Chains A and B, each alone.
Chain A
Amino acid sequence: MSPTFSELSAGQDIGSRTVEVSRTDLVKYAGASGDFNPIHWNEAFATGVELPGVIAHGMFTMGAAVQLVTDWAGDPAAVVDFQTRFTKPVLVTDTTGTTEPGATIEVSGAIGKLDAEAGTARVDLTVVAAGQKVLMKAQAVVRLS
């Protein structure tokens, strides 16, 4: 069921989601998106350019985070505007051969603002990995009936 605009209020919680990330996921995202920058899959390369290790594509994190909004809205087409700043890299460790994730991203969302005239709700996302906010001003505007 899609949420109804009149039943929403600012500050309302829309839920949370945990995203586990492995190096394999980054390779899949690289293939799906066409972003083959080696900092997202090659440890030696990443450390060679002064990064702490392989980091997730910012766009992987942004794309995974918005699923919370898409599922809440009930229709992916309802997301009319989505933006973020990438403030901290998500370091993804090599856990090949184990069942452990290389990183865990926690996503939660709340209604930031309602625009009755436009019939839209702004969802503010909090996205945390390794105890740090990795996205800032992560805001999705959703058109509701």
Chain B
Amino acid sequence: MTINPDLQGRSYPAAEVYDVGREKIREFARAVKATHPAHFDVEAAKALGHSDLVAPPTFAIIIAQRADAQLIEDPDAGIDFTRVVHADQRFIHHRPIFAGDRLVAELHVDGVRAMGGGAMITTRQEIFALAADDSRESVATTTSSILVRGEGQ
């Protein structure tokens, strides 16, 4: 399988809405072995001045990887998911993610570079919260590079 070099510069518009639930924040926090009360206890989060439970700093990966799935599952991309290794990741938070947020992500393919028999693909996800009137507030910018290993790599 070869990676389609024309992927660079491609973008995928925001698709489904991700509703951030309190139990999902708690589940994700437990899964990364977080114990901070602001992830679990609404009163503790409010005591810090927040509107609701605060998501852990890497929670946005759920939304980012859902956006990435559009690319990985695109037959035209030529990506074998089982040969994907995560190379780097960054989260820039314009504001924290809270329970009750309704999030959407735009996906941008910023780079495609051949490496051996595989390729390094850099994607960026612009994550927005939707207000009641469907206006958008910028919440986070996430970037990730994945290495799609070629045979023998």
Q: How many B residues are at the interface, by size bracket?
A: 35 or more
Q: For residue B48, which residues in chain A have a CB less than 8 angstroms away from its CB?
A: 75, 77
Cβ of B10 < 8 Å from any Cβ of A? no
Q: For residue B9, which residues in chain A have a CB less than 8 angstroms away from its CB?
A: none
Cβ of A1 < 8 Å from any Cβ of B? no
* A 45-61 to B, binary, CB cutoff 8 A, 1 in contact else 0: 10001100000011110
Which residues between 21 and 73 of chain A lie within 8 Å of chain B, taking CB atoms? 25, 28-29, 31-35, 37-39, 45, 49-50, 57-60, 62-64, 66-67, 69-71
A62 to chain B, nearest CB (A): 6
Decide if the interface of chain B is mainly helix, strand, loop or mixed. mixed
Q: Choose, from B79-87, B102-110, B121-129, B130-138, the stretch at the interface.
A: B79-87
Q: How many residues of A contact B (CB 8 A)?
A: 40
| CA–CA, A83 and B141, complex, Å | 12
Q: For residue B27, which residues in chain A have a CB less than 8 angstroms away from its CB?
A: 31-32
Q: For residue A60, which residues in chain B have a CB less than 8 angstroms away from its CB?
A: 31-32
Contact (Cβ within 8 A) A83 B96: no
Contact (Cβ within 8 A) A33 B86: no
Contact (Cβ within 8 A) A49 B33: no
Contact (Cβ within 8 A) A76 B93: no
Contact among B24, B33, B149, B152 with A19 in the assembled complex (CB-CB below 8 Å): B33
Contact among B65, B89, B93 with A62 in the assembled complex (CB-CB below 8 Å): B89
Contact among B31, B32, B58, B87 with A86 in the assembled complex (CB-CB below 8 Å): B87
Q: For residue B90, which residues in chain A have a CB less than 8 angstroms away from its CB?
A: 81-84
Residues in A lying within 8 Å of B, measured CB to CB: 19, 25, 28-29, 31-35, 37-39, 45, 49-50, 57-60, 62-64, 66-67, 69-71, 75-77, 79-86, 89, 140
Q: 3 tightest A-B contacts by CB?
A: A63-B32, A32-B31, A83-B90
